[in-house]
Amino acid sequence: MRTFTVVAALLASALRAHAQDRAGAREHEIKAAFLLNFARYTEWPRNAFESDDAPFTIAVVGKDPFGADLDAMLKDKRVAGRPIRVVRFEKAADVRPCHLVFVARSERDSLSAVVDAAKDRPSLVVGETDGFIGKGGAVNFYLEGDKVRIEVGPDVVERHGLRMSSKLLRLARIVKGK
Amino acid sequence: MRRLSDMSIQAKLKAIILATSGLALLSASVIVVAHDAVTSRQRHMDRARLLAEVIATQSCAAVDFDDATAAAEVLRALDRVKNIEGARLFRRDGTMLADYGSASSMPPRPEPGECRIADGKVLIWQSVRHEQEAVGTLYIRASLAELSERFWLSIAVVAGALAIGLLVAFPLATRLQRVVTGPVLELKKTMEVVASHPDRAVRAQKRCDDELGALADGFNSMLVQIEERDTALRRAHDDLERRVDERTIELQREVEERKQAVAELRAKEEQLVQAQKMEAVGRLAGGVAHDFNNMLQAILGFTSMGLTVLDPADPVHGYLLEVQKAGERAASLTRQLLAFSRRQVLQPKVLNLNVLMSDMQKMLRRLIGEDIELLLDLDTAIRPVKADPGQIEQLILNLAVNARDAMPKGGRIVIRTRHNDPAVPETLSVPHVTISVSDTGCGMDAATRAHLFEPFFTTKLKGQGTGLGLSTVYGIVKQSGGQIRLDSQVDRGTTFHITLPCVPNEEVRNETRGMRPLRGGAETILLVEDEDTVRGMLRGILMRAGYRVLEARNGRVALETVREFHGRIHLLLTDVVMPVMGGRELAERLQASQPDLKVVYMSGYTEDQVVLHGISMDRMPFLHKPFAPAALVAKVREVLDVPAEPAAVSGGP
């Protein structure tokens, strides 16, 4: 038993070393997990879905930083009992309303288009650009050291008819929205 | 340490109450504390679990978002909860996300397992879930120090409660035990009082109606019973003692009576022996004296005849006078002997002893001389006695002479008469007179007293006393139906008490014995006497007096003589006691044919024997031998001169 514990500990430290090598990849991995978490810690009104078994849609706008990882990660995952569907939009202008919209850094200059597209819709718009919330975004990733942090504009979330869990709000930096 | 059973009831009750209440309190407290301990563990566990759930809920977002800072922040909320030693949040993949408290001894990985208590710690494993999906694991370790603190606090509280309880229970027990022990102690006190005082009238007070009351009642009834038994026992004891005392007194009295009876018997025996001795001596003396008397009768008779015949100038006349004197002395001596032997014929008269004493006074004074004082103490209340005055005179003279001889240096003689003298015991039961003759002389010792009345016993020098004085006194008293007693001690003087019965009725007769001149006569006298010399002497006296004398040797011969004699016989002079036909029978026979025949009896025997022969001296003329010729002549004349009175001579049985 003791031997097993020692072996397990050695194995764990080896894995950690490997993960640090891949820090860049890990950032988006985390962001992907966070996206799911956002979906899970936020309530969408009933009318946001076409039917009871309609999927939860996540849109990735701009240059996709997650790649297939996201799909893999979200596969078999459910949000409020609904399957998850990921849609990707090359340009911000193409955006159609989805339940959760992630705006990649590549679209930092055309944020308003996305915001506009989601305006008055039950959509949670997530970005990874400084000052995103000031530009109409609801949630924004930022880096603190090597750690991925989030900031939320609760009034923006509310304006979209969504209710974000206080647990999530407690983790995030609250920013006053536009 | 004293055993519980040896302690006083008070202490016992107190101990029991305290022990019971203490034990009850203690057990209640132990149950409460134990229950508290058990439930508080569970509660602790539940609370820790609840806490873990809360923390898990709070931290699920932080775990989900892998936000170690936020997680740590959530864990920091445990600050406000006591006894939390540490907590750790694990990610979904089992790596550590955040710590709280000391990181040491935290498990590096989540361990599958339940919440449990180990080593005084509560270990909680709580999965962190978000909408049923496990996102991580929370580990909380809480110390049970609070529990043990709480436990010890409970113990302290219990101890305090126990102490306070006992503190309250102690005075309460002291008060309560009095309810029980009060009556018991009182009973005990009563018992001690009863035990220390014999007075069992003490009773226990009944205070209550419980078993102790019943005990007091029982005790009291027991006391009553004991008292009753005591009383009965004491009564029985007293009764027994009284009976023993009575019996003892009775026995003592019986012993005394027996002693007295023995003493009396012995005295009676002595008296009997003495009386027998006296009787024997008296008989001897009497026998001798009787014969002497007859001889003296002859001597004196013939001497008297000689003297009448002879011329007083004749020298033989003088000799005969000497013979007569000596003869008279011998006669006197013989008379005394006869008196002692009680064979003297008494001539009793009714007489007043006071008169006799007074008459004797002069003569007594002369007799006792001038050195001795004589006092007469005469009781005028005395009644006459019947006695021979000459004998009584003789008796007093003898006693006076003895008294005088007891007082050679002088003294005093007291003669006292008393009627029924109470000072003299053992006297007669009939009315009597006591003559006491006391002197202040040398007295007598016991040996002298024992032989005092024996004839020829004398303390005087030879030739000074005959030894017949007191024996004569004794004889006279006895013959007179009296008693004599003697009180004498050496150097204390002597008193003789002579007691004589009184005359029953006043048959005081004036005995006028005329002192007539001696006269003879010419009558015919039949002289019957068995003793030849006496008969001859008497015949001579009578013939010289002028009488015609017929004589006979005894009664039968006398009858023949009378038959052959053809003349008148005027008087019969006869001896009483004769071998063939005594005087009495002779007189009766002769008087049968000649009723006016006068009779004069003669005898040398005592009155008793004379009376036996049918002679009553009171009624019949009687001469006691030896008698003087003049007495014979006077007697004969006196009888012949009595007028013929058939009744006077035909008396007799």
| Per-residue pLDDT band at B606 (split at 50, 70, 90) | low
| Whether residue B246 has pLDDT greater than 90 | yes
Residue of A139, A166, A170 to mutate, testing the B interface (most B Cβ within 10 Å of its Cβ): A170
Q: Which among B292, B375, B272 has a CA at the least distance from the CA of B332?
A: B292
pLDDT at position B456 is 72
Q: Which among B543, B536, B535, B582 has a CA at the least distance from the CA of B559?
A: B582
State how far the Cα of B25 lies from the Cα of B162, in Å rounded to an integer: 6
Residue of B57, B67, B91, B132 to mutate, testing the A interface (most A Cβ within 10 Å of its Cβ): B67
| Whether residue B538 has pLDDT greater than 80 | yes
Q: Checking phi first, is residue A37 left (phi over 0); if not, alpha (psi -120 to 50) or beta?
A: alpha
Residue of B64, B73, B106, B129 to mutate, testing the A interface (most A Cβ within 10 Å of its Cβ): B64
Locate the chain A residue with the closest alpha carbon to B55.
A167
The answer to whether the Cβ–Cβ distance between A30 and B66 falls below 8 Å is yes
DSSP 8-class letter at B199: -
CATH value of B524-649 in 1.10.10.10, 3.40.225.10, 3.40.50.2300, 3.30.1360.70: 3.40.50.2300
Residues of A in contact with B95 (CB under 8 A): 12
Angle formed by the axes of helices B532-544 and B629-641, nearest 10°: 60
Task: Identify the helix (H) or strand (E) that includes residue B604.
Answer: none
| Whether residue B649 has pLDDT greater than 80 | no
Which range has highest mean pLDDT (B258-262, B327-331, B642-646)? B258-262
Residue of A4, A18, A40 to mutate, testing the B interface (most B Cβ within 10 Å of its Cβ): A40
Q: Which of B58, B65, B108 sits opposite A34 (nearest CB)?
A: B65
Is residue B582 within 8 A of residue B609, CB to CB? The reply is no
Q: What is the mean pLDDT of residues A97-122?
A: 87
Residues of A in contact with B108 (CB under 8 A): 9
Q: Which of A8, A9, A171 sits opposite B62 (nearest CB)?
A: A171
pLDDT at position B14 is 82
Is residue B453 within 8 A of residue B474, CB to CB? The reply is yes
Angle formed by the axes of helices B629-641 and B211-309, nearest 10°: 100
Residue of A38, A126, A141, A171 to mutate, testing the B interface (most B Cβ within 10 Å of its Cβ): A171
Q: What is the pLDDT of residues A30-39, one digit of tens each?
A: 888 889 889 9
| Whether residue A23 has pLDDT greater than 60 | no
| Whether residue A112 has pLDDT greater than 90 | no
State how far the Cα of A102 lies from the Cα of A137, in Å rounded to an integer: 10
Q: What is the mean pLDDT of residues B121-149?
A: 84
Residue found under tokens 């006398």? B558
Residues of A in contact with B65 (CB under 8 A): 34, 37, 150, 168, 171
Q: What is the pLDDT of residues B452-465, one digit of tens each?
A: 887 777 777 655 66
Q: What is the mean pLDDT of residues B473-485?
A: 84
State how far the Cα of B87 lies from the Cα of B123, in Å rounded to an integer: 10
Q: How far is A111 from chain B (nearest CA, A)?
A: 25
Locate the chain B residue with the closest alpha carbon to A171.
B70
Cis? peptide before A122, omega within 30° of 0: no
Residue of A10, A167, A168 to mutate, testing the B interface (most B Cβ within 10 Å of its Cβ): A167
| Whether residue B509 has pLDDT greater than 70 | no
**Token pair belonging to B210:** 């419980």
β B483-489/B493-501 pair status = antiparallel
The answer to whether the Cβ–Cβ distance between B131 and A40 falls below 8 Å is yes
Residue A76 Cα distances to A32, B51, B185, angstroms:
15, 33, 96
Percent of chain B at pLDDT > 90 equals 6
State how far the Cα of B299 lies from the Cα of B307, in Å rounded to an integer: 12
If you count them, how many residues does chain A have?
Answer: 178
Query: Average pLDDT, whole number, for chain B?
Result: 81
Structural domains of chain A sorted by starting position, each given as residue range(s) with its CATH number in brackets: 23-174 (3.40.50.2300)
| Whether residue B132 has pLDDT greater than 50 | yes
Q: How far is A10 from chain B (nearest CA, A)?
A: 12
Q: How far is A169 from chain B (nearest CA, A)?
A: 9
Residue type, B488: S
Q: What is the mean pLDDT of residues B570-593?
A: 86
DSSP 8-class letter at B383: P
| Per-residue pLDDT band at B648 (split at 50, 70, 90) | very low
Spans of all domains in chain B: 4-168, 346-501, 524-649
Which range has highest mean pLDDT (B284-288, B465-469, B533-537)? B533-537
Locate the chain A residue with the closest alpha carbon to B95.
A12
State how far the Cα of B306 lies from the Cα of B410, in Å rounded to an integer: 46
Locate the chain A residue with the closest alpha carbon to B58.
A167
Locate the chain B residue with the closest alpha carbon to A79.
B131
Locate the chain B residue with the closest alpha carbon to A141.
B65
Locate the chain A residue with the closest alpha carbon to B71.
A171
The answer to whether the Cβ–Cβ distance between A170 and B70 falls below 8 Å is yes
Q: Which of B60, B66, B95 sits opposite A167 (nearest CB)?
A: B60
Angle formed by the axes of helices A2-21 and A23-41, nearest 10°: 100
Q: Which of A8, A37, A80 sits opposite B65 (nearest CB)?
A: A37
Q: What is the pLDDT of residues B386-404, one digit of tens each?
A: 888 878 888 888 888 888 8
State how far the Cα of B535 lies from the Cα of B527, in Å rounded to an integer: 7
CATH value of B4-168 in 3.30.450.20, 3.30.2080.10, 2.160.10.10, 3.40.50.280: 3.30.450.20
Is residue B443 within 8 A of residue B493, CB to CB? The reply is yes
Residues of B in contact with A37 (CB under 8 A): 61, 64-65
CA atoms within 13 A on the CB side of B279: 6
Tell me which of B602 and B421 has the higher pLDDT.
B602
pTM of the model: 0.41
| Per-residue pLDDT band at B474 (split at 50, 70, 90) | confident
Q: What is the mean pLDDT of residues B46-51?
A: 86
Q: What is the mean pLDDT of residues A159-177?
A: 87
Is residue A115 within 8 A of residue A127, CB to CB? The reply is no
| Whether residue B244 has pLDDT greater than 90 | yes
Based on DSSP, count helices (H) and strands (E) in chain A, helices before strands: 6, 10
Helices (H), B502-566: 532-544, 555-564
Q: How far is A166 from chain B (nearest CA, A)?
A: 9
**Token pair belonging to B537:** 């002497």
Residues of A in contact with B66 (CB under 8 A): 30, 33
Locate the chain A residue with the closest alpha carbon to B111.
A5
How many Cβ pairs closer than 8 A exist between chain A and B? 32
Q: Which of A8, A30, A165 sits opposite B61 (nearest CB)?
A: A165
If you count them, how many residues does chain B have?
Answer: 653
Residues of B in contact with A12 (CB under 8 A): 95
Angle formed by the axes of helices A23-41 and B9-64, nearest 10°: 110
Residue type, B325: K
**Token pair belonging to B72:** 């740590």
Locate the chain A residue with the closest alpha carbon to B64.
A37
DSSP 8-class letter at A105: G
State how far the Cα of B575 lies from the Cα of B592, in Å rounded to an integer: 19
pLDDT at position B614 is 66
The answer to whether the Cβ–Cβ distance between B95 and A41 falls below 8 Å is no
Candidate from A92-96, B115-119, B513-517 with smallest mean pLDDT:
B513-517
Residues of A in contact with B62 (CB under 8 A): 167, 170-171
Is residue A130 within 8 A of residue A141, CB to CB? The reply is no
Q: What is the pLDDT of residues B288-301, one digit of tens each?
A: 777 788 888 888 88
The answer to whether the Cβ–Cβ distance between B65 and A168 falls below 8 Å is yes
Is residue B636 within 8 A of residue B518, CB to CB? The reply is no
| Whether residue B511 has pLDDT greater than 80 | no
The answer to whether the Cβ–Cβ distance between A171 and B65 falls below 8 Å is yes
Q: Tell me the backbone φ, ψ of residue B305, rounded to 5 degrees.
A: -65, -45
One DSSP character per residue, B418-459 reads: EES-TTS-S--SS-EEEEEEEE-S----HHHHHHTTSTT--S
DSSP 8-class letter at B108: S
Query: B544, exposed or middle or buried, with CB in 10 Å at 0-12, 13-18, 19+?
Result: middle
pLDDT at position B619 is 67
CATH 3.30.300.30 fits B346-501, yes or no: no
